[in-house]
Structure 1
Amino acid sequence: MTRLSEQEDFQVALCTAPDQETAERLAELMVSDQLAACVNIVPNITSVYRWNDASGRSAIEKDAEVLMIIKTHAELMAELGELLEKEHPYDVFELISCNIEQASSAYLEWLENSLRF
C-alpha cells in the first residue's frame, strides 16, 4: 500500500492525567474514535510546575500524574484537542506534539491504517 501521508505528518503527542483510571478511559476514547493509533500509558511520573492559586499568587506545585504517549496524525490534532477539552478532568490540560522524523515504513503504514482520515 502507498502511504497517503508524509512521515512528518505523523505525530507523537503527550498528555498527562491525574491517575491510571482516567488515562485508560481517555486512551480508550482516543483509540476507539481512531484519533490515536496507540496510547502508551506511563504510570508514576512526578510533575513540577508553576501554578497561580485563586488569589493569583504563583507557587511551585508538585503532583503525581500519569503520562499518555499518543501516536496520531497532524490532521487529527484539533479533534484530539476537542475530545480532551470535553473529557479531560483538568481545566488546563497538556497536549503537545512532535513530528515523527524516523520510523519504519511498516509502522507508518500501520499508523495510517489505524487512524481516521
Structure 2
Amino acid sequence: MEAITGTSIGVTIGITIILMGFCAMMTGQAVANTWRSISQLLPYAILLGFTDRFLVFALFGGDLLSLSGFIFDTVILFAIATISFRIVRVNKMLSQYPWLYERVSPFGYRSREGVK
C-alpha cells in the first residue's frame, strides 16, 4: 500500500480520508447548495489532492511528487465530494419541490406519478 500512496496507511487514513475527506464533503455540499453543476467538483478535487499531497509531505515526510499517491488521494476525495453533492442535491430537490418529486434512495429521486 505504501508503494501506491507514498506514505503509511495510518497517514493515508488520517490525512486523506478524515481531514481532507471532511473538506471534500464540505466542498460537495457547497457546490450542491449553490445549484452548481457536478462537473465543478473535479477541479476542486484536484486542488484538494494537491493540498493533501503537500500536507502528507510537510507533516509526515511522505513523497511530495508521488503521481500514484496523488491520483489515489484525488479519486478518494472526488468520490467523497460526489457522494456529498448527490445527497445534498436530492434533499434540496425534495424539500423545495415536494409536489414534483419523491425519494427513491438516498442518492436519487423521481417524478411523482400523475405530475406532468
What TM-score do the two structures reach when normalised by structure 2?
Answer: 0.34
Higher-Rg member (1/2) = 2
Structure with bigger RCO (C-alpha 8 Å, 6+ apart)? 1
Q: Which has the higher helix share?
A: 2
Q: Which has the higher strand share?
A: 1
